[in-house]
Structures are given as C-alpha cells and as structure tokens.
Homo-oligomer: A and B are copies of this chain.
Amino acid sequence: MPSSPPHPTQDAGATVGDVGEAALINRIRRRVPPAPDWVATGIGDDAAVVEPARGTLDVVTTDTLVEGIHFERSFFPAADLGHKTLAVNLSDLAAMGATPRVAVLSLVLPAGMAAADLDSLVDGMLALATRHRVALVGGNITRSPGPLVLGMTAIGAVRRRRVLTRGGGRPGDELWVTGTLGAATAGLACLRLEPTGSAVGHTDLAGCVERYRRPDPRVRIGMLLGRNRAASAAVDLSDGLGDGVRQLALASGVGAILDASAVPIDEGARRWFQTHDLDSLDTTLAGGDDYELLVAVPRAHRRRFAAISRLARGVPTTRIGVLTKDPSLVLRTADGERALPGGYQHFQETGDTPQAR
C-alpha cells in the first residue's frame, strides 16, 4: 500500500492524527465486545444491519456533546466523556419507555487528541453499553478543525401502545421525579471555579462532580414505566426541571402546579448553592444535565407506580406537583404562588446562574 502511512506505533504519545482513520477504526473495533446475534452487520461496513425486536417499534434519539459548550477536556476525563455521550442518549430512550438496543457514534476529533484518550473514551462508553446491553454497531470518524464533538444516535424498542410520550398528561395527574436534582449544576459550577478539582476530593462535592460527569440514566425505570403503563407522560430532565415541566405540560395541553418544598434538591448541591449565595430552588429549576425523569402518573395508577418505585433499586421517586386544566405553570412556595421559571435554553447564557449546558 504505497500511499499508506507506516504502521502506527501505539506509544503513549501518539495522537489520533498520527494513527490515522483506518487504524483508529480498527482500534475501536478491537475494543468492542462481540455483537449479539440480532446484529446482522456491525462496525466496518457502509451501514449496520439490525434485526428489530419482534412486535416492537423503533425508538430513535440523537444527542451531541460539544467541547467548550457541554464540557472542557481539562476537567472531563475521557472515559467519563464516553460514558456521558451514551448516557444522555439512554436517558432520552428511558423517557419514552424504551429498552435500548444499539448505538452509532460520530467522532469529530482534533488531530492533536491523544490516541490513548480516544481508547479511554471508547472504553468508558462500552462499560455503560455493556451494563445496559447496548451494542455499538457503527459510526463515523472525521477530523475537527477545533472542538471535540461527540455525536450519538441510540435506538431502542418499545411495544405498541406502550410508548411514553410527553403529550399524554391529563389534568389531575400527579408529577413525580426520579432521584435528586441540582447535583450536576453544582458539580459543573465547582469544576469551572476550580478546574483542577483540588477542592473536589475533600468536600461533599465529589458526588456532584460525579453526577455531572457520569450521569446514571434511568434506563430500568423507563423500561418498567413503558411495560406496566403506570404513567401517562414522561420527559427527561436534560435541560432542567423548569424546562421539563414546561415541555410536558405544553405537549399535553395542560398546566401544572409545582410544590417548591417537595423538589428533591441534592443535599451536597444545596450546600454549595448556599455557600455561593445562589437560590437553591431557582438554580435547580434552571439547571440542566441531571438526566432524571419527570413522570405524570394518573391517580388511579398510583399503586402501579409505587410498584415501579420499589423495583427501582434505590432510586427514590418524589411527588412534586400536579397537572392542571388551567394552562398556567405555577410554583407554590411558602411565600405564595409565582410563575415557574424556565429551564436551560441553548444559545442563551444568562450569566447569573451556573449553567450545566
């Protein structure tokens, strides 16, 4: 092969530019475990070929992480980047009640990125993929003239009439949220103030930083919600609780009342917000990146939902409000009622609250 480069040495200092595209693809292929038998064609052809699960619909989502917008490489270990790229997509599938199956990965790489970092990134992704039985079946690699851009499309399966959209909520349905909120916002804000992470180890912020870097998508709860039809609607909280409530209410053609005192703010995050003179509630409502689920539950299905909560393996669920016929979005606090603040809007940086993305 006269036009090919000399065989790359895999020393620690090699960059992805040194290694070259074909060798990078081989490097990734070698790390990927054998595909399940319903993957007819995996990595290495023009496209992947996948057998749909019998009697199910395909659920398709895509999400992209951009250096300088969603993360800085200086405070984001490559393995965590790989984990998060998949996690944010699995969160979207969970919010639809789907079981994840396959993913394809688009890598836009600065030529100077260390090849070892790409290995770590792929390994971090594959560790999460294995945990949730997701097969990485293809992708694309190209050079970047600037930022590292990680794009992923994930495909899941859901049975007919088990799809959980944003639009099925009805007046009177209760609003529930999984896990705790605000931790990712505090974690990112902490990393921005102290990129070296020197303070992280000896405060309770370690948990917040972990939540920002390695969110745990609610795959199991999402699958259970899809199967037992406990919920009328769901949305993932990638852009914050305020945004999630707004999206679900808008799609369902209803309003909502949120009980401020019920919002499960992460304790470490709350302390960090207080120390930095930030309103814990407003910061949590606006902060994205939590990847918890907001779920609307008809009162008649409360017992079904409680059964899911018991099966959710330690992930708490908290009732935080109710959907209303009146289309207003209301936050009920000890001081009275006010309009619900929004979530994170891409393209807008307000500058007065730490933004997770």
Chain A interfacial positions (CB closer than 8 Å to B): 1-5, 16-17, 19-22, 24, 40-41, 44-52, 57-64, 66-70, 92-93, 95-96, 98, 102, 104-106, 108, 111, 137-147, 149, 151, 153, 155-156, 158, 163, 165-167, 234-236, 242, 246, 251, 286, 339, 341-342, 345-348, 350, 357
Q: 6 new A-B pairs (CB below 8 Å) besides A49-B58, A66-B108?
A: A1-B342, A21-B345, A50-B57, A64-B140, A143-B346, A145-B147
Q: List 28 A-B contacts (CB under 8 A).
A: A3-B342, A16-B347, A20-B345, A20-B347, A20-B348, A21-B348, A45-B166, A45-B167, A46-B92, A46-B96, A47-B60, A48-B59, A48-B60, A49-B158, A50-B57, A60-B155, A61-B104, A62-B106, A62-B139, A62-B153, A64-B106, A68-B146, A69-B145, A70-B142, A104-B153, A106-B106, A142-B346, A143-B347
Q: Is the CB of B46 within 8 A of A166?
A: yes
Closest 7 CB pairs of A and B: A68-B145, A47-B61, A146-B146, A153-B153, A21-B346, A3-B342, A46-B95
Q: Is the CB of B62 within 8 A of A151?
A: yes
Q: Complex Cα distance A302/B17, Å?
A: 42
Q: Complex Cα distance A153/B50, Å?
A: 14
- State the majority secondary structure of interface residues on A: mixed
Chain B residue nearest to A348 (CB atoms) is B20
Q: Complex Cα distance A30/B61, Å?
A: 20
Chain B residue nearest to A68 (CB atoms) is B145
Q: Complex Cα distance A24/B347, Å?
A: 10
Q: Is the CB of A60 within 8 A of B1?
A: no
Q: Is the CB of B67 within 8 A of A145?
A: yes
Known: A98-B47, A339-B1, A346-B21. A62 touches B138 (CB 8 A): yes
What residues on B are CB-neighbors of A57 within 8 Å? 40, 49-52
- Contact partner of A142 (CB less than 8 A), chosen from B66, B234, B235, is B66
Chain B residue nearest to A60 (CB atoms) is B48
Q: Is the CB of B165 within 8 A of A45?
A: yes
Q: Is the CB of A47 within 8 A of B93?
A: yes
What residues on B are CB-neighbors of A143 within 8 Å? 66, 69, 346-347
Q: Is the CB of B236 within 8 A of A46?
A: yes
Q: Complex Cα distance A130/B95, Å?
A: 30
What residues on B are CB-neighbors of A95 within 8 Å? 46-47
Q: Complex Cα distance A146/B69, Å?
A: 10
What residues on B are CB-neighbors of A62 within 8 Å? 104-106, 138-140, 151, 153
- Contact partner of A40 (CB less than 8 A), chosen from B52, B111, B146, B163, is B163
